[in-house]
Structure 1
Amino acid sequence: MVKEMLKGKSGYLLSNLLSQGGEYGEIFYERARACRVQLEDNKIDKVQWGIDEGVGIRLIKGGKTYYGYTTEPTFENLMEIVRTLARGLGHGPIKVGQRHIRGWTELSIDPDEMDINYRAQFLYRANEKARSYGDKVRQVTVVLMDRSREIMVINSLGETAEDTQKRVVFFVDVVAQENGLLQRGYESAGIRGGFELFERVPPEEIAKKATERALLMLRARPAPAGPFTVVLASQAGGTMIHEAVGHGFEADLVQKGLSVYKDKLGQKVASELITVIDDATLENHNGSFTVDDEGVPAQRTVLIQEGYLVGYMYDRLTAMKEGKQSTGNGRRQSYAHIPMVRMTNTYIAPGKDNPEDIIADTKKGVLVVKMGGGEVNTVTGDFVFEVMEGYMIENGKITYPIRSATLIGNGPKALMDVDAVGSDLGWSIGTCGKDGQGVPVTDAQPTLRIRSMVLGGTEV
């Protein structure tokens, strides 16, 4: 009902929105259904289910954004927002319905058709697998989240875009204990799609990886400290490319002078072995969509080409400021939030080296198999990341696991110091936070070798 009202009244609403000036007007509709089921202490202890519907209206005037939203999208409430945003501002022409884009998520097991009992089976299966490893496993937390999101964007350029997005995320967090030592293992999987995720990756497999990681760290040695050659395995996912590098290519940060990559377009910013791509068109990936939250079709954007910076990521506002076109990176958490430049599926393209040969060719170094959390300064590119699973490399062989390690470095320098890129590619899912908003993303990298990085540890 709300969508039909908006389609019928959009011309009137947008005309009034721009009646006193402005370059761009937009109506954003969203209806979302979300479910989160959590298992802890061998039982389902939390179930959250909700439906949210609302409309946001945006006006861009003089390079500034004016925004309002309502959870009760009646015509009267929308007109009140329109009048408030338009107050005190010239006149602009409105076009309605010149182009219409419609998208949807293809899936075989629709979350909207399944009940809590269906969901619970996956959590119990993962829990049983994790607990089967014995008494050292002290705590198992399993979470299944699925979300259906229907959006529609109508703007003053004459464009209407619709998309239905469905996503499923599943993760297992295990705590193991021995002789007073506690260690954690974590593993996740996700998809733009439905519960067919578990046909691709059974819950037992996710639990196995998380549990074995926690148990492995119990027998790991304290990490040494100092500079080392670092091999980032493809299984580590794209944490570093996302956090230490990716945010620096977002045009809003570049324009504000908050990116180390400002004014470096066309310059060499990485090893010639490095190509970085952001691609929202990839099928079934967590960061994929048909159109972004401004109604711009999903795109593949090359950011670094063989070491050279060739592009940034733009939303409509940042693109307007430079006379460019949006790259389809305008995303928002919900109708209650303004869109901003965000990554989608960001990755380093595979190279030609055999991953096993990269390790065999490393005399002394550290192999990072799983990255944890960390902090990044986008202005300088400096970062600190936790190593959740790592090993020492000695004379080309993987020797013993290490714990309590961190990677300390600088994103641009790390990319410059890459001297080997594997032919593999490993993906990891996540929720990217920025300015208080979270959106689903996926990151990836092949096996990479970095000549020198500082390993923070407990032994010198």
Structure 2
Amino acid sequence: MLSKHVIEDVLAAALTTGGDFSEIFIEDRFTNNLTLQSGKIETALSGRDFGVGIRVFKGLRSIYAYTTDSSREGLLKAAANAAQAIKGETAARLAPFVSQAAYSIHPIQIMPRDVGKSRKAEMLHNAFGMTKNYHSSISQVTVRYMDEEQNVLIANSEGTFTEDKRVRSRLAIQAVAVRGNQMELGFYGPGAHQGFEFFENLNLGHYTSEAARIAVTKLDAIPCPSGKFPVIIDNEFGGVIFHEACGHGLEATAVAKDTSVFANRIGERVAPEIVSYIDDGTLQNEWGSINIDDEGEKARKNILIENGILKGYLIDKFNGRRMGMASTGSGRRESFRFAPTSRMTNTYIAPGNSSPEEILSNTEHGIYAKYMGGGQVNPATGDYNFAVLEAFEVKNGKLGRPLKGATLIGNGPKTLQMVDMVGNNLSHGAGMCGSQSGSIPVNVGQPTIRVSEITVGGTKGE
């Protein structure tokens, strides 16, 4: 993408005022987005984005600059501008580059750029027809297609020199069901670290049916009661609660500043023995998976909580300096426009020994949260408020009527402590996570779990 000689010159220029570490991140990204609505392709957009980020450290100071000018002169100017914020006595020397061989643990079979738009549009039309024909109450369907190819080169003054190709594909299906003046929404958005083979192997009927079924089911929902109840949270995207309310608190971005409730607690019990919490970027071809992070570190499996005991954090290079700890391969960023920081990949509660049927039958009354919606979290405290996209009442160990207006209100670390049953049906859901280094693809996951008590906000008292 750039010659080694130019990269060496840029890294050296960034150190001229006394920096002790410099890094260059070069990105060339191709994207395709198609949207089908009312049976017609409404948008078909393709784009390319190229740029370079340059970072300098001096002790516990970090400076970041980026540019779209990839000429030698433009890059040296950006490096010099970044260096001006650093004042030190002695500049670090560049270590010889140690090139890493191509390192791909996520095989790509069909590059999306090799597939014509007509083939992609045909898949969208098929998804539209399946969703629309699910039930007569489905009045509107929107299907979105996305693929991207991100090529990066990462080099630093410590000798790292590595390249990576990231290819991701995603489909988003939204269904609207209408009855009289009532309108309900259903959604499903599967994705993977794969090429166009993802769409060819996708069980399209399952995802279209689920998006439509959610919308149709909610037409018969009754108002959710308010109060404190046992809550069963289904697998897959149910894991978004712990991603938001606990996962972010385990990132060094918060831990290094002591703004996390999990700071300085390694070795302490933070959950019941049946709970283990893991972030694993090596899961083959999963949406949140990586080959290397955005600092050139290899992906790995990080056990954060093991049998209830806090074992570690997600750490990037700079926050690792603050904490006196090594990187865990967790430095991620949206693009060259952002400096990296510690972020999740595929974060999930490990499977337990209970079947979903056992969990349900052992719950006399409560709420069953099948699909989670959006929410808000205070990362410093872990306090959260999440809407439930689809919920049911639980009575005498069986699912009852669908509920509407359900909201889960609580504190992540406290909710973690009250998990009393963990299922054996682990599954992952694809999503986007926003933080100070931008929006990145992540998986959230868990098996079906039961929390002994969560405050449920509804639409009426009970």
Normalised to the residue count of structure 2, the TM-score between the two structures is 0.96
Structure 2 residue 72 is matched with structure 1 residue 71: no
Q: Quote the Cα distance in structure 2 between the aligned partners of 1:84 and 1:297.
A: 30
Specify the alignment match of 2:371 in structure 1: 370
Specify the alignment match of 1:356 in structure 2: 357
Structure 2 residue 55 is matched with structure 1 residue 58: yes
Q: Quote the Cα distance in structure 2 between the aligned partners of 1:77 and 1:412.
A: 47
The correspondence of residues 310-325 of structure 1 with structure 2, limited to 5 A, is: 310-325=311-326
Q: Quote the Cα distance in structure 2 between the aligned partners of 1:327 and 1:202.
A: 34
Structure 2 residue 43 is matched with structure 1 residue 42: no
Structure 2 residue 377 is matched with structure 1 residue 380: no
Deviation for aligned residue 1:99? 4.2
Deviation for aligned residue 1:459? 2.1
Deviation for aligned residue 1:238? 1.6
Does the 8 Å CA contact 1:96/1:155 hold for their aligned counterparts? Answer: no
Structure 2 residue 199 is matched with structure 1 residue 198: yes
Match for residue 10 of structure 2 among 13, 32, 38: 13
Aligned in 2, Cα 1:83/1:436: closer, same or farther, shift over 3 Å? closer
Q: Quote the Cα distance in structure 2 between the aligned partners of 1:235 and 1:439.
A: 18
Deviation for aligned residue 1:101? 4.3
Task: Give the 3-state SS of the residue equivalent to 2:246 in structure 1.
Answer: helix
Specify the alignment match of 1:91 in structure 2: 91
Task: Give the 3-state SS of the residue equivalent to 1:270 in structure 2.
Answer: coil
Q: Quote the Cα distance in structure 1 between the aligned partners of 2:238 and 2:451.
A: 16
Deviation for aligned residue 1:319? 0.8
Aligned in 2, Cα 1:330/1:81: closer, same or farther, shift over 3 Å? same
Q: Quote the Cα distance in structure 1 between the aligned partners of 2:437 and 2:29.
A: 19
Q: Quote the Cα distance in structure 2 between the aligned partners of 1:295 and 1:175.
A: 43
- Range moving further from structure 2, 229-238 or 293-302: 229-238
Specify the alignment match of 1:296 in structure 2: 297
Specify the alignment match of 1:102 in structure 2: 102
Q: Quote the Cα distance in structure 2 between the aligned partners of 1:212 and 1:369.
A: 12
Q: Given residue 30 of structure 1, which amino acid in structure 2 is its aligned partner?
A: E
Task: Give the 3-state SS of the residue equivalent to 2:334 in structure 1.
Answer: coil
Does the 8 Å CA contact 1:241/1:445 hold for their aligned counterparts? Answer: no
The correspondence of residues 390-409 of structure 1 with structure 2, limited to 5 A, is: 390-409=391-410
Unaligned runs of 5+ in 2: none
Q: Quote the Cα distance in structure 1 between the aligned partners of 2:406 and 2:61.
A: 44
Does the 8 Å CA contact 2:339/2:437 hold for their aligned counterparts? Answer: no
Deviation for aligned residue 1:235? 4.1
Deviation for aligned residue 1:56? 0.9
- Range moving further from structure 2, 207-216 or 97-106: 97-106
Deviation for aligned residue 1:9? 2.0
- Range moving further from structure 2, 173-182 or 144-153: 173-182
Q: Deviations over 1:163-189 (max 9, x none)?
A: 101000111011111121111100111
Q: Given residue 150 of structure 1, which amino acid in structure 2 is its aligned partner?
A: N
Does the 8 Å CA contact 2:334/2:437 hold for their aligned counterparts? Answer: no
**Number of equivalences:** 457
Task: Give the 3-state SS of the residue equivalent to 2:17 in structure 1.
Answer: coil
Q: Quote the Cα distance in structure 2 between the aligned partners of 1:458 and 1:352.
A: 35
Task: Give the 3-state SS of the residue equivalent to 2:424 in structure 1.
Answer: coil
Task: Give the 3-state SS of the residue equivalent to 1:50 in structure 2.
Answer: strand
Does the 8 Å CA contact 1:139/1:175 hold for their aligned counterparts? Answer: yes
Task: Give the 3-state SS of the residue equivalent to 2:189 in structure 1.
Answer: strand
CA RMSD of aligned residues (A): 1.3
Does the 8 Å CA contact 2:340/2:437 hold for their aligned counterparts? Answer: no
Does the 8 Å CA contact 1:29/1:55 hold for their aligned counterparts? Answer: yes
Deviation for aligned residue 1:129? 1.0
Q: Deviations over 1:308-337 (max 9, x none)?
A: 111010000011222221001101111111
Q: Given residue 445 of structure 2, which amino acid in structure 1 is its aligned partner?
A: A
Moved over 4 A (4+): none
Q: Percent identity?
A: 37
Q: Quote the Cα distance in structure 1 between the aligned partners of 2:237 and 2:334.
A: 26
Specify the alignment match of 1:417 in structure 2: 418
Q: Quote the Cα distance in structure 2 between the aligned partners of 1:202 and 1:43.
A: 22
Deviation for aligned residue 1:134? 4.1
Does the 8 Å CA contact 1:330/1:341 hold for their aligned counterparts? Answer: yes
Q: Quote the Cα distance in structure 2 between the aligned partners of 1:258 and 1:399.
A: 41
Deviation for aligned residue 1:436? 6.4
Deviation for aligned residue 1:153? 0.4
Q: Deviations over 1:416-460 (max 9, x none)?
A: 111111111021000100126100000100110110011111121
Structure 2 residue 28 is matched with structure 1 residue 31: yes
Structure 2 residue 285 is matched with structure 1 residue 284: yes
Does the 8 Å CA contact 2:420/2:452 hold for their aligned counterparts? Answer: yes
Unaligned runs of 5+ in 1: none
Q: Quote the Cα distance in structure 1 between the aligned partners of 2:323 and 2:413.
A: 24
Q: Given residue 330 of structure 1, which amino acid in structure 2 is its aligned partner?
A: G
Does the 8 Å CA contact 1:313/1:329 hold for their aligned counterparts? Answer: yes
The correspondence of residues 152-191 of structure 1 with structure 2, limited to 5 A, is: 152-191=153-192
Q: Given residue 97 of structure 2, which amino acid in structure 1 is its aligned partner?
A: G
